[in-house]
Structure 1
Amino acid sequence: MASGGEGVTVWYQREVSLSPRRRGCHYISDEILKACSGEMSKIKVGVANIHIKHTSASIILNENFDPTVLTDMEMVLNKLAPENLNYKHTMEGPDDMPAHVKAALMGSSLSVPITNGKFNLGTWQGVWLCEHRDHGGARKLVVTMNGLKK
């Protein structure tokens, strides 16, 4: 048996509330790290699964340096799922069904490696919240972290 906690696997889970944002793509890596720093700092090597609990917003990894990438991504998403199609699901407004399409294309979960208590991402990578509704409201993430204890 290992001494001092070596080889011990730990599991943590935290729900993170994000403030409402305008429609578009937003960097949220720092918010997640701040909310989960206590748990994540205890992990030597592991993984964080980040899941968004909504069907009209997405969570992805992408460019975290040039803010024009955020604008360009929103432009492309609006071309892929425009509001002016003949959608049947319109009970919550014209932005609702396009938001569901965008969320399905981009995804609701991602996994990020943890090394020495921090996200182990590429130089230009960051976690994005993609808000697909004009007024989506507050969003909730579930961050499940597991790995070898420091």
Structure 2
Amino acid sequence: MLRQHQTTLHVDTRGRGLAEITRPVSEWVAQSGLREGLLTLFVRHTSASLVIQENADPDVRGDLDRFFARLVPDGDPLFRHQDEGPDDMPAHVRAALTAVQLSIPLTHGRLALGTWQGIYLWEHRTRPHRREVVAHLLGEPGPA
């Protein structure tokens, strides 16, 4: 019999960069008691995104930040929307180029992530924010 669980995780960011959320997501999934299913994560913002990325070498996260800084620079004169500063529209473009939703299978009560994969909230604004990630889990419980 399928069951559902839903929660909202709050993530305090330090400003632009990747904040790993694998542990709180995994702990919430473990508490659900579900064994097989599908987790959907959704970030409720237009200037942040979600990615699955390597969690072993921090250089990967730095390289991603540097690549996006080159691809979508702050203060680019192309952008008219600057209501909250020169990083405003670049943050929206960065979010549009990545994802605001992830789906991760649940297998044997655990997220089916690869060995070096972690779940990250990617803050695209330069100043700290409190972000919301809605987690929805649909699946079947283990044996009673």
TM more than 0.5:
yes
**Number of aligned pairs?**
141
Aligned: 1:33 with 2:33: no
1:56 corresponds, among 47, 60, 79, to 47
Deviation at 1:36, TM superposition (A): 4.2
Give the Cα–Cα distance (whole angstroms) in 2 for the partners of residues 139 and 70 of structure 1: 19
Number of the residue aligned with 1:5? none
Secondary structure at the counterpart of residue 94 of structure 2: helix
> Aligned partner of 1:112: which letter?
I
TM-score (norm 2): 0.92
> Aligned partner of 1:49: which letter?
T
Number of the residue aligned with 1:131? 123
| Bigger Rg, structure 1 or 2 | 1
**Is the 1:20–1:138 Cα contact (8 Å) retained in structure 2?**
yes
Identity %: 36
Give ranges in structure 2 of 5+ residues lacking alignment. Answer: none
TM-score (norm 1): 0.89
Structure 1 outlier segments of 4+, above 3 Å: none
Deviation at 1:64, TM superposition (A): 1.1
Give ranges in structure 1 of 5+ residues lacking alignment. Answer: 1-7
2:138 corresponds, among 143, 146, 149, to 146
Deviation at 1:135, TM superposition (A): 1.3
Give the aligned CA root-mean-square deviation in angstroms: 1.2
**Is the 1:43–1:115 Cα contact (8 Å) retained in structure 2?**
no
